A and B are shown apart, each in its own frame.
Chain A
């Protein structure tokens, strides 16, 4: 789950990481009220969950409180990369001497957290790594010892600092790590962390992604995700609440299958035969008939869907249960879209008989079904 900049900055401030003085506003008069407590000049920043917000016009600067009002009105009426702006973070503008990057993420291979730093900041770290890999400094964090002060100082030295500055920077790194660990962040970054003209360090922008599997430990954010604003579409949210994994794509073939890898492979196979998948949907193991029905409802809420591919490889899942679920849903939801169904595994014969009786032929091979559904999607039906 992605946190908004303001949520991340509030967490950073709580852990003693220097951040600019600021406040949240959801309308222009609130923005004025926030600005009146701060020292000009100001930065007015749209709170949207998209990357590249600055370039897309989501950050405006204001020299006076009057200008804050204009900036706030403009941003609140704007869309940034298609996302409506519902709130603003107004803060004191920083005098920048240099922009740096610092973040903590996961090293899958080494099975630990890794600190990533660069003397170049302000753009996506992947971009920095691609352009100037030699400038990216990675430090593995031992899970038992944690992030040690000498490591933070080594990093500060390597990105070009010395004297008292390395202690100050090191402290910010260490605190960021503690915040990230406490909030189960799979990514926590200050990008950029700025060296100000008077030699101080301050996190000008911050990003936190909380591990979805740890949200049970962070109920306040889970509540915001499920009940309030998030980057998820309504369908993605509905799926999440019901323990289904759904991702909307831009094609016209609806896909349902059991197992993440199998569904990904199904999308790839559709694409291989020249079709375009409309979504990813994994119903998971077991898949009782109500779940199949809900999956169909979610997939068909996408008006672009012209045909459906249901790919079930029954291990734990029983094919006859799935067949009944499909027919139930077809009747209840009044589904008229053509379906290509692949059904193999446990109780396969029974499942196929049930579908046959309803005039639906179930295939054995994923490739054959994919070819059939691609034809259906072109049929104009």
Chain B
């Protein structure tokens, strides 16, 4: 179970013949993800790892319709690829590509909303429902099936925290990377709503970072809605100076807006447990689980 993807998800890979696209297609197939087609304009009619390759998404959809697409296309062309997938009826788009201009992302998200498609990313490690389906570039061995939902703005920090949860015996329902850009298809609130309705998810980990005010808005949502599942958060960037972009396009403090302090304070006010260090998330989660089982 989990959210958005599961064992029945059928995916295509756009940009399947590139270095990243081919490397990760192989790993996803090994994980058991059903990849039904790939696209690469000019390479239609060939195969990669026995997956048929088409020039266009339209042809791929005619042969064997998919419900998700992974985008490994270079930044200047990635939004066009995502729109192509949406226009051909695909409802889940995972955009791995980094460095997409904000103006292009804004157009893409408007197009996705209009067509009721879910866009994950850009600049995301993707999404994994452990044991069922992986649409992403994350190392699979650090995840295991379980009941914690994870939502994150960072790739490697997700791996860090997922590995420590797994190490403590705490498996995951679905782990989703929102992406490190200022404009992403999904935000924490969208995904919290999905986890709320997922019977397999018992608790949620949020991994935020400096920049913007999504964490503050999320804290407001958790407080107002009295979110029914325990939430543990970690926010990266307490030591980041203002005005400097910390790796991710979205990780920047503007003046006094977007600081880690403001986000941590908002989470605490909303009753969210906030970890001081990444390693503390698993411990706080174990405590949250223990108090859950006492209640039941």
Contacts and interface: CB of A to CB of B under 8 A. Distances in A.
Interface of A: 106, 108-109, 111-113, 124, 126-127, 130, 142-144, 181, 184, 186, 211-214, 216-217, 245, 247, 249, 257-265, 267-272, 277, 280, 282, 285, 313-316, 344-346, 365-367
B152 A261 contact: yes
Contacts of A272: 276-277
Given A260-B154, A264-B154, 19 more contacts: A111-B105, A113-B106, A127-B255, A130-B256, A181-B103, A211-B101, A211-B103, A213-B75, A214-B101, A247-B241, A261-B153, A261-B155, A272-B276, A280-B244, A313-B159, A315-B142, A315-B155, A316-B137, A344-B163
Contacts of A181: 103
B139 A346 contact: yes
Contact of B246 (A144, A260, A315): A260
A130 B155 CA distance: 33
Interface stretch (B50-58, B194-202, B208-216): B208-216
A142 B236 CA distance: 32
A269 B180 CA distance: 21
Nearest to B180: A260
Question: Which of B160, B163, B234 counts the most chain A CB atoms within 10 A?
Answer: B160
Contact of B157 (A127, A249, A261): A261
Contacts of B213: 108-109
B182 A108 contact: yes
A259 B156 contact: yes
B61 to A, nearest CB: 25
Interface of B: 75-76, 99-103, 105-107, 109-110, 113-114, 137-139, 142, 152-160, 163, 180, 182-184, 187, 207, 209-210, 212-214, 217, 234, 236-241, 244-251, 254-257, 260, 276-279
Question: Which of A264, A271, A366 counts the most chain B CB atoms within 10 A?
Answer: A264
B181 to A, nearest CB: 8
B154 A186 contact: no
B99 A280 contact: no
A126 B256 contact: yes
B103 A111 contact: no
Nearest to B254: A126
B71 to A, nearest CB: 16
B255 A124 contact: yes
Nearest to A248: B244
Contact of B240 (A184, A186, A217, A267): A267
B156 A258 contact: yes
B240 A280 contact: yes
A108 to B, nearest CB: 4
Contacts of A143: 106-107, 109-110
Counting from the closest, the 5 A-B pairs by CB-CB distance are: A261-B154, A260-B247, A259-B156, A261-B157, A315-B139
A245 B247 contact: yes
A109 B217 contact: yes
Contacts of A282: 247
Contacts of A245: 245-247
A119 B93 CA distance: 42
A245 B246 CA distance: 7
B261 to A, nearest CB: 12
B166 to A, nearest CB: 13
Nearest to A269: B277
Contacts of A345: 139, 159
B247 A280 contact: yes
Given A247-B246, A265-B278, A260 B251 contact: yes
A269 B238 CA distance: 9
Given A249-B241, A259-B154, A268-B239, A112 B249 contact: no
A12 B247 CA distance: 30
B24 to A, nearest CB: 9
A269 B106 contact: no
A167 B257 CA distance: 33
B112 to A, nearest CB: 9
B157 A111 contact: no
A316 B102 contact: no
Contacts of B163: 313, 344
Nearest to A182: B103
Contacts of A285: 137, 155
B103 A214 contact: yes
Contacts of A346: 139
13 contacts: A108-B250, A211-B102, A213-B99, A259-B156, A260-B154, A260-B156, A260-B248, A261-B248, A264-B154, A264-B251, A269-B277, A345-B159, A346-B139
Contact of A268 (B76, B238, B257): B238
